Chain A
């Protein structure tokens, strides 16, 4: 916890001593640690769901102070949201996998038609299917005196 002197200094936005800065860091860290530990894991599992149920059960118990207990339902809702989000993401990936099979033939036909159209548009120029941007420095082989030649014209 922060003492009154430090709090008033923070309110007045005064410069803190190194000792005060360290105390402030410790206080913030002490508040942040439980929050970090409470963050959900990436993987969705039944044991995790069971843990969530236990936490939700805890929320139903009477609390001493309404302010003190406010973070718990918020955290619970956040975790439930994270669980729902992870579930939705997994479902969406499954859907893509199913669709990719029938699209294979369409991809081949489309690739042929587009290449034909690109060739018609490009003529002797650059067609989309062969467009490859210049990347990295131009490799100079031997002496390229082009610029010097221009200067001596």
Chain B
């Protein structure tokens, strides 16, 4: 009986995922309604080839943390390195054939996870493809100069007119050269900006490989088991057949109590699975997370909270598949 139930669940999940991806695709007609430079960016996204330097800034708590990346891209393949003097110097990240590999030289570890180069772009794509009253407004502005190239500024605003994102898109090839993201009160949460770029780089195929004999391969599931054990929690995870891939595992301690945080990537949107010992208040979660689906339950003596921007029923089906990671 169990395999039949599993098959039915899988079929339901696939149907949900399909419906979700369908809602995120823009028809040719809808695409034509967008500013020309956005259309260009969407059409050229997987064809671009370049090398460049970009600065990346994140707001973490009260601090703004900034680092520099050397970026190499050839279509769907990407390589990121960090210059001498950077706190991350020596780390290398490559994305190739649907896989992301992150090399940590001090630990001699290669962390392997699903590629996510499409994430940033398809998140935008999904947002533009939204329908109904919550669809953001897109406004193309005046040309600007980013890293010596002509770029068109595009503002993405919510229905009340609050700017939630700003993009600077290369006027002739559609590369997003600068991007800023704002919170609900207009504070900048993060940005990236190219400071130099070469659209005719010499690229060798082996630049998208990380080969290091003796280095330990670490998967997110390995990290889940290790972090759960350290925090005295359970190695509980979404089912491998759910269509959601575990991308990152970490433990946070906001009030001293360990909370195991797992980030999964599915159809262009992440879901987060939290695990903690304390009870949580579902009403408070719903009130604070308006616009998100949130489901919490008790399992194996711990509280699990699943959060994501997907239909509530799909989230509950995902939650039903949580089990001990083998």
Contacting A109 at CB < 8 Å: which of B192, B213, B288? B288
Let me know if A137 is at the binding interface, CB within 8 A. Answer: yes
Let me know if B171 is at the binding interface, CB within 8 A. Answer: no
Q: Name the distance in Å between B115's Cβ and chain A's nearest Cβ.
A: 8
Interface string of A95-114 (1 = CB under 8 A from B): 00000101111111101111
**CB-based contact A128/B58 at 8 Å:** yes
**CB-based contact B272/A134 at 8 Å:** no
Let me know if B181 is at the binding interface, CB within 8 A. Answer: yes
Docked Cα-Cα span, A14 to B133, in Å, equals 87
Task: Write the chain A residue with the least CB distance to B78.
Answer: A124
Docked Cα-Cα span, A136 to B108, in Å, equals 12
Count how many chain A residues have C-beta atoms less than 8 Å from C-beta atoms of the other chain: 40
Contacts of B181 in A (CB 8 A): 117, 120-121
**CB-based contact A121/B288 at 8 Å:** no
Task: Write the chain B residue with the least CB distance to A139.
Answer: B108
**CB-based contact A142/B214 at 8 Å:** yes
Task: Write the chain B residue with the least CB distance to A123.
Answer: B120
Let me know if A122 is at the binding interface, CB within 8 A. Answer: yes
Chain B: interface residue count, which band? 35 or more
Interface string of B266-281 (1 = CB under 8 A from A): 0001101010101011
Let me know if A9 is at the binding interface, CB within 8 A. Answer: no
Q: Name the distance in Å between A125's Cβ and chain B's nearest Cβ.
A: 5
**CB-based contact A125/B104 at 8 Å:** no
Docked Cα-Cα span, A129 to B87, in Å, equals 15
Contacting A119 at CB < 8 Å: which of B119, B179, B255? B119
Q: Name the distance in Å between A138's Cβ and chain B's nearest Cβ.
A: 4
Task: Write the chain A residue with the least CB distance to B184.
Answer: A113
Let me know if B305 is at the binding interface, CB within 8 A. Answer: yes
DSSP class of A's interface residues: helix, strand, loop or mixed?
helix
Say yes or no: A109-B190 contact (C-beta < 8 A), given A104-B254, A135-B106.
no
Let me know if B112 is at the binding interface, CB within 8 A. Answer: no
The segment from B3-11, B35-43, B89-97, B235-243 that touches chain A is B89-97
**CB-based contact A105/B60 at 8 Å:** no
**CB-based contact B93/A121 at 8 Å:** no
Let me know if A130 is at the binding interface, CB within 8 A. Answer: yes
Most chain B beta-carbon contacts within 10 A, residue among A103, A112, A118: A112
Let me know if A126 is at the binding interface, CB within 8 A. Answer: yes
Let me know if A91 is at the binding interface, CB within 8 A. Answer: no
Let me know if B307 is at the binding interface, CB within 8 A. Answer: yes
Q: Name the distance in Å between B291's Cβ and chain A's nearest Cβ.
A: 10
Tell me the B247-264 residues at the A interface (CB within 8 Å).
248, 250, 252, 254-255, 259, 261, 263
Contacts of A111 in B (CB 8 A): 252, 261, 272, 274
Contacts of B89 in A (CB 8 A): 134
**CB-based contact B116/A124 at 8 Å:** yes
**CB-based contact A130/B248 at 8 Å:** yes
Let me know if B147 is at the binding interface, CB within 8 A. Answer: no
**CB-based contact A124/B65 at 8 Å:** no
Q: Name the distance in Å between B294's Cβ and chain A's nearest Cβ.
A: 8
Let me know if A62 is at the binding interface, CB within 8 A. Answer: no
**CB-based contact B250/A129 at 8 Å:** yes
Closest 5 A/B residue pairs (Cβ): A141-B214, A128-B58, A133-B87, A121-B190, A124-B117
List 15 extra interface pairs beyond A103-B254, A105-B280, A142-B214, CB under 8 A.
Answer: A100-B255, A107-B255, A108-B305, A111-B261, A112-B289, A116-B309, A119-B116, A120-B120, A121-B191, A124-B116, A126-B82, A128-B190, A131-B67, A134-B87, A141-B213
21 chain-A/chain-B pairs, Cβ below 8 angstroms: A103-B255, A107-B259, A108-B272, A108-B307, A112-B292, A116-B309, A119-B270, A120-B179, A120-B181, A121-B120, A123-B120, A123-B192, A124-B73, A124-B115, A125-B93, A126-B91, A128-B58, A131-B58, A131-B67, A133-B88, A134-B91
Residues of A that sit less than 8 Å from B by CB: 100, 102-109, 111-139, 141-142
